[in-house]
Amino acid sequence: MTDAYLALETGDVVEANARAPGAARGELVFTTAYTGYEESLTDPSYEAQVLTFAYPLVGNYGVREDRMESDRVHPSAVVARELTDDVADWLRDEGVPAVDGLDTRDLVLDIREGGAMQVGVSAGPDASPAEARAQLADCPELSDLTDIGARVSVDSVRTYGDGDTDVALVDCGAKRSIVDSLVDRGATVHRLPYDATPADVDAIDPDVLFVSNGPGDPANFDAAERLVDEYVGDVPVAGICLGQQVVARALGGDTEKMAFGHRGVNQPVLDHDSGRVVMTTQNHGYTVADPGDLEVTQVNVNDDTPEALDSDELGVLTRQYHPEANPGPNDTLDFFDDVLAMPETRRVTPAAD
C-alpha cells in the first residue's frame, strides 16, 4: 500500500512505502556507499538534506551506537530501495521520516542528470501528494541556511584527550572520528563552536588550528574564515571537507556548488607528487573553484576537482575527502600524522648560510 510521497523539483511525485512517518523537506542527494549507513546517517554534513542510498539494501548488519559519528541522525528524511526493520525502527525513534519500496535507480539518475534538487516528503497514514508538494514549496535553498552551523556545532568549548599537541578544532559539524583520530595520535582537542572568536582561540594557545567538515555553503561560515585569516602564518592550519573550502576562501580563493557532489566511499584521488591513486570517502556538494594562495596537490580522478591544498610557507594542509573515514577505506589516515607534525616542523630554524 502506498503511504508515502516524494515531490521533486522536476514536478514529479514519486510513490513509496512509509517506514518511519512524518513530513520533511531538504536537498535531495545520494550516496553510493554500500556500507557505513550508520556513519552516513549520523554525519552532520547531511543536515538539511534528504539522503538517498543508491545501494539497494540498507541495514543488513544492524544498528550500533559505537559506529555513529554524532549523537543524532542528521538528514531530514531517508530514502532507500529497502530498509531493514532495525534501521526503520531507529529512524522512527529519531523522528526522521523514512521511505522505501521505490526504484532508487531512477531517483539517482534524476539527480545525476538534473543535479541535487529540492524535495518534499510526506510519509505515514495521513500522507498525501499535496502535503509533499507543500513541503517542497517551503523548502529553502541550502545556501540560504545561514545559521546551519548552529544546528550542528557545540555551543561551548569541549576538551578531549590529554596529549602534548593542542588542537583548536573549529566545529562546523565535526564527525566524532576526526576527534578520535587526533586524540589517538597524542593530541588534546579543544572543540570550539563554529562561530568562535580569536579570544576563544587565544585562550587555548593552540599548536594547530583545525577547521572541520560541516553542512551547507562554506560562504556561510564566515567566523571560521576570519579565524583562518587571523592565525595563518602564525599557527599551522588544517581542514577537512568544508574545512578545506573555508581555508581556501580565507586565503584569497573561492568555492562553487557542484551539480550533485561527491558522496560515497570509492572516490579515486590522484597525488601529483607521488603519482599514487588512493580511494577515499567523501560527502560534499561544494568544491574549491580557486585555491587562492594555496597549491593544489591532489585531484579527483573523475572530475579533476581539488582534493588537497598545501602551503609549506603558510603552514597549511587540507583535504576535501575524509581521511578518518569509517568504515573505510583507510588509505589516507596518515594525514593526521602530517597535521600533528606541522608545529614541530615550523619550529625548526633553517641553518645559517
pLDDT band, very low/low/confident/very high, at 345 (cuts 50, 70, 90):
confident
- Annotated binding-site positions for L-glutamine: 45, 214, 216, 242, 245, 283, 285-286
Report the C-alpha gap between 135 and 15 in whole angstroms.
15
Q: Which of 82, 241, 284, 307 is catalytic?
A: 241
pLDDT in the model for residue 349: 43
pLDDT band of residue 2 (cuts 50, 70, 90) is confident
What CA–CA distance (Å, rounded) separates 282 from 264?
6
Q: Report the alpha-carbon distance of residue 82 to residue 119 in Å, rounded.
A: 20
Whether 322 is a known active-site residue: answer yes
Q: Is 199 found in the same domain as 110?
A: no
Cα–Cα distance measured from residue 252 to residue 297, given in angstroms and rounded to the nearest whole number: 17
pLDDT score, position 328 = 85
pLDDT digit string (tens) for 33-44?
999 999 999 999
**What is residue 352's predicted lDDT score, i.e. its pLDDT?**
41
Cell of 190: 579543544
Query: Please, which pLDDT band fits residue 351 given cuts at 50, 70 and 90?
Result: very low
Task: Decide which of 140, 165, 180 is a domain's last residue.
Answer: 140
One-letter-per-residue 3-state SS of 261-299 = EEEEEEEEEEECCCCCEEEEEEEEEEEEEECCCCEEEEE
Specify if 352 maps to a domain: no
Interacting residues of 276 by C-beta distance below 8 A, sequence separation 6+? 270
Kindly report which listed range (221-235, 248-262, 301-315, 332-346) carries the lowest average pLDDT score. 332-346
**Which long-range contacts link 158-164 to residues 24+ away (Cβ below 8 Å)?**
158/190, 158/191, 159/188, 159/189, 159/190, 159/191, 160/188, 160/189, 160/191, 161/186, 161/187, 161/188, 161/189, 162/188, 163/187, 163/188, 164/188
pLDDT tens figures, 73-89: 999 999 999 999 999 99
Residue 132 and residue 192 in one domain: no
Catalytic status, residue 295: no
Q: Which of 27, 82, 307, 324 is catalytic?
A: 324
Cα dihedral 11, 17, 19, 20, rounded to 10, equals: 40
Active-site annotation holds for 241:
yes
Q: What is the pLDDT of residues 320-336, one digit of tens each?
A: 999 999 888 999 999 99
Binding-site residues: 45, 214, 216, 242, 245, 283, 285-286
For residues 124 and 161, membership in a common domain is answered with: no
254 and 313 in a common domain:
yes
Pick the closest to residue 8 from 162, 150, 111 (CA basis). Answer: 111
Identify the domain containing residue 340 by its residue range. 148-347
280 residue type, one letter: T
Domain co-membership, 85 together with 188: no
Of 112, 140, 168, the residue that ends a domain is 140
